[in-house]
Amino acid sequence: MKVSYFPGCTLKNKAKDLDLYAYKSAEALGVTLEEIENWQCCGGVFTTAKNEVATKLSSVRALKEACTKEQPLVTVCSACHNVIKQTNHAMQTDKDFAAKVNRYMNEDGGYSGETAVYHYLEMLRDLVGFDTLKEKVVNPLKGKKIAAYYGCLLLRPNSVMNMDDPENPTIMEDFIKALGADAVVYSMRNECCGGYVSVESPDLAKNKSNAVVNNAKAQGAEMIITACPLCKYNLVKNGADIPVVYFTELLAEALGVKEDTNE
């Protein structure tokens, strides 16, 4: 199976492990990630102003390329996924916005949101299947007590992201179980870590991050996994005293391909 792949800026510098493990793991599962040619920054955040077009053009170009190749578009970074998914939804539902974008891009035939957008976790659940993933595991992570940290962007706004129940999600816990580990459920797994206020209010960001980590530890967590580079950075920077790792690193370890990522 081949899918179009949007890595995003952070995966090419500060979060290279997230990218490398994603490639290796996909290969082990029979999925080829075909990186979008000449991709650019997704825009960083989705701006809700309807007259704001420029920051969304990169996402539309990536979506258009995947559409031309008749492939779904897969992302790994939760921030990129949020921007691309919301942009695709705007192209589907807001005719005035879509018309502005297509006039600006001068695209033949235009683009109207035809591409299916998947987060890597959704790809594992919906395209590969967690049962298939479980069968492919060669190094079961038995005995590890792992807490999933969703953060803000994977699940919200739910009317657009439509990944899971925003208040009681299970996709990452099901992923952890498929790898053979014990999933730790805790109340703050989908609360903000404070990443977007870390420059303006570092004390607030630290308090938010520490609250997440302490809550996970109180429920027995020995490790936290996340899909967001900013969340990982913020939790580690603010003093997490248990490991915080990308979910793809855990996946690569369970699939037996982690040692190959430094080739």
For 70-103, the pLDDT digits (tens) are: 999 999 999 999 999 999 999 999 999 999 999 9
pLDDT for the residue 261: 47
Domains and CATH numbers, the chain: 2-120 (1.20.1050.140), 136-260 (3.40.50.11810)
pLDDT for the residue 260: 55
pLDDT for the residue 263: 44
Query: Read out DSSP for 219-254?
Result: TT-SEEEES-HHHHHHHHHTT-SS-EEEHHHHHHHH
In 3D, which of 82, 120, 73 has the Cα closest to residue 249? 120
Average pLDDT, the chain: 94
CA distance 36 to 212: 34
Question: What tens digit of pLDDT does each residue of 41-74 get?
Answer: 998 889 888 788 999 999 999 999 999 999 999 9
pTM of the predicted structure, to 2 decimals: 0.95
pLDDT for the residue 125: 98
- Which percentage of the chain shows pLDDT scores above 90? 87
pLDDT exceeds 90 at position 130: yes
- Which percentage of the chain shows pLDDT scores above 70? 98
Confirm if 248 and 7 have CB atoms less than 8 A apart: no
pLDDT for the residue 215: 98
pLDDT for the residue 108: 61
In this predicted model, which residue has the larger pLDDT, 137 or 106?
137
Q: How confident is the model at residue 197 (pLDDT cuts 50, 70, 90)?
A: confident
Q: Where are the alpha helices (DSSP H) in 73-119?
A: 78-93, 95-105
pLDDT for the residue 220: 98
CA distance 246 to 114: 30
pLDDT for the residue 11: 92
Q: What does the chain come to in residues?
A: 263
pLDDT exceeds 80 at position 203: yes
E strand or H helix at 135: helix 130-136
Question: What tens digit of pLDDT does each residue of 204-227 get?
Answer: 999 999 999 999 999 999 999 999
Tokens 């038995």 correspond to 142
